[in-house]
Structure 1
Amino acid sequence: MMKRELTLTDIAGYLDHPLLGQHPTGAICWIDVEFIAQHGISLAGYKPVLRPISDLCEEITEQGYNEGKPFVPIVTMAKVAYNDVGDWGHPIYSGEVYQCSCNGIFYGFEPTDGSFIVCDQTGFPVFSPKQRDLFDLLHRLHFDYRGLIDAGLAVSVHDLKQNPYEAANN
């Protein structure tokens, strides 16, 4: 099997927000977008620092987001999809889907297909509204929904001594 390399396609969505990378020396620094655009990500040798998708159901903080207050990303995403209507809660990983619920409706992210889905009590899944906004939010929050960490092409925030994306006041 041919070894996969990190491409600009893998990180393009993240570049609209400050993105940290781990240099081959181990140093953590901001990825220089101009250098990447001119020479490519593989020449720079950086591995982007990302959150694993499992953090969707965990309480996190993010510098410059939600006023630095803790939040659960999958709950926030359900609120984005439904214009902040509903009392979404109970975040869990079902073994297939990272999800939360509201009034018998389940909202989640299915990592195998990379899709946001909604299921009613019958269990029949449909695609979530506002998918583009939701993927933008995954980028903004530095989530690895493309499997880059598992492929060895990105570094998990949990593998560092301190998560560099956490709000400074925590």
Structure 2
Amino acid sequence: THAPVDFDTNIATTITAHDAGYINQPLEKIVGLQTDAPLKRALHPFGGINMIKSSFHAYGREMDSEFEYLFTDLRKTHNQGVFDVYSPDMLRCRKSGVLTGLPDGYGRGRIIGDYRRVALYGISYLVRERELQFADLQSRLEKGEDLEATIRLREELAEHRHALLQIQEMAAKY
């Protein structure tokens, strides 16, 4: 069988969602698993909840009801965001099979990190760079220059900073 050995039922994966995980801690030179145990799958609900529901059903597991409520009623997933902007024609074409491969239902919505910069420059330097870039945008914001793009970039820089600090927090667990 190709069933996973184990998977989470109520923890949405983030950089810091799981405690440190080891295969054989005394022997390990390189540490770090995606979850707190070997061969344990993490839940990636931010892309969409339906694929996770299907996996739970296929492997005879039950999803935590609060977790399901959070990602169906309270938190918009990437998948729901994609469907919200489809035109009626796009939805009909998708349903009929004329269009395939649209960016939905594939667990997207995750940010794939490029961690070479962390190793090359260190987290403190990268955080400071984001803070400086954020501050440099203040005058554009105050003048109302390209407001939508400026606000979006400031939000992205704040998210970068937050993610870098989470990497630092996660690494401290090891």
Per the normalisation by structure 1, the TM-score is 0.25
Which structure carries more helix by proportion? 2
Which structure carries more strand by proportion? 1
Q: Larger Cα Rg: Structure 1 or Structure 2?
A: 2
Per the normalisation by structure 2, the TM-score is 0.24
